[in-house]
Structure 1
């Protein structure tokens, strides 16, 4: 099995854009033989610094799952009403325009590669409800427009992020999974579209402050017939360099000896195995991982090793679950 890797989250951190450092990292990622392609961050253009550099340096055989989270969070920092679920009409229009720009980037990448290389686009139901109002009605109106565009073979999913829950301080504060599922079902019924759901383990654990949260979210999405993808990111409930209950994409806890893992991660071997089983991984359109690493000045070899060992851990667990 091959996986989607959110390699951008582990990329070297530099004070300014240093293409030679990023190229060294990406060339090492290309050597991982179980990478099917990348979860690709979108901030407003195909690449945050240089489209041409990106097109020159990617593996032409890779496939892609676009994510708008980096761009969405950047937009929210400037406009708290931004997003496709916003009840503020200007904020909702800005959210739709953001995905229109992503649509253009999808077409550009496919045209460069001469094939339909983008498998999925992940949408997000901002704004943060602690700062601006949002609703399923607003989301439905936005989705009805977005699904009408020709995405050149790319499927559309809502990636569920941590929702606003009374008594907890959210990092994202977007719509609940139940609201997202109900809205997707309504849009699919009305338009004949095939919108789905993707789940990031760490973000569901963050919302529920529990390792049971990702399993429950996977069950809900699967029972609704909407689960399309699963991405592994870890999280901790104790003080670590990754923070306590923070969406920092912590690596998993030790899965096998002498690997690159993170002490204190709630994403243990047992939880990864339960998650794959609950998700029905054999039926998913994509499975993968998105990791952050600490310290931030970690060398390239170690950054690649964290990704390598996480993907090898998934390989190990899926082979045991066949």
Structure 2
């Protein structure tokens, strides 16, 4: 049965400086969500960007954790455009491997603190941006050949597909294509008897393809390869909005108005109940290892309680829709 995972880091309260009390208030609200099995946790170079001890003291020790390196990777790319595990530049690839080694140590630190295997999955990204630096499936193969041999504390390695470079289109990430990612994973799983998989983020696949059909296409490719491990719902807009046009800002889905107000300015989101249903119709979601959401919210002035509520409403929608499908009838 899939566990519902919330990418809570994307909705954290915004303030001019680190406010431990405000962040704790927000996390307390996330802990109270119904049906939450765990969180997607952002890694930027250390377990927590401000205070590892604070983080460990404020999490729910019963949560499962899915690590993602996107924040750290984008920071590294800003300093070195050749950074990435798919980079054809040797120094850029080695720098990315060093980054993921830090993540591996953070995984063990968290597991040790809760005295169990809390980190279930580690999401890898196939940078660099092909618009500015060369990358290839061959380079990714070299990196994953090494990484699959590391001790990840029992966590499953998963490539988190981000938008790939498309000629004539400005990319957000510009990483490898899903076809290349799936081919590399399948080859390595066969050669080393490992269990690397792939995760799809609805918003990133829609952004790449400039279409609400893109996520379905990517899901079907992953399912046909028997490699789909996770499915996360983020929104995106094709119109001017506070979240940008075709921007990877994790726009919320269209949600019910609160007191007649579109609190989250999400009325132009392409992610709707119908789109979530379409995806759940073509995947045996009960066989997924995790299913969930990752959303950002506007405006920045929203309170911790309002940010929790946006996650609550989105999670409730996903739970309700997934419960309406008989998994045995899919695909």
TM over 0.5: yes
Partner of 2:56: 55
SS of equivalent to 2:46: coil
Q: How does 1:97-176 map to 2 (within 5 A)?
A: 97-176=98-177
SS of equivalent to 1:197: strand
Deviations 1:204-258 (A, max 9, x none): 0000000000000000001001000000000011111111111010000136987
Q: How does 1:1-322 map to 2 (within 5 A)?
A: 2-254=3-255, 262-322=266-326
Contact 1:255 1:268 in 2 (8 A): no
Structure 2 segments unaligned to the other structure (5+ residues): 327-331
The count of residues paired between Structure 1 and Structure 2 equals 322
Change (3 A) 1:94 1:219: same
- Aligned-partner Cα distance in 1 for 2:308–2:174: 31
- Aligned-partner Cα distance in 2 for 1:260–1:190: 51
TM-score computed with the length of structure 1 as normaliser:
0.97
SS of equivalent to 2:298: coil
Deviations 1:274-295 (A, max 9, x none): 1112232111000010000000
Deviations 1:51-93 (A, max 9, x none): 0000000001101000000000000000000000000000000
Contact 1:136 1:183 in 2 (8 A): yes
Contact 1:9 1:292 in 2 (8 A): yes
Structure 1 segments unaligned to the other structure (5+ residues): none
- Aligned-partner Cα distance in 2 for 1:294–1:122: 26
TM-score computed with the length of structure 2 as normaliser:
0.95
Deviations 1:75-118 (A, max 9, x none): 00000000000000000000111111000000000000000010
- Aligned-partner Cα distance in 1 for 2:239–2:124: 30
SS of equivalent to 2:282: helix
Contact 2:255 2:314 in 1 (8 A): no
* Deviation for aligned residue 1:196: 0.3
SS of equivalent to 2:81: coil
Change (3 A) 1:2 1:88: closer
- Aligned-partner Cα distance in 1 for 2:125–2:255: 31
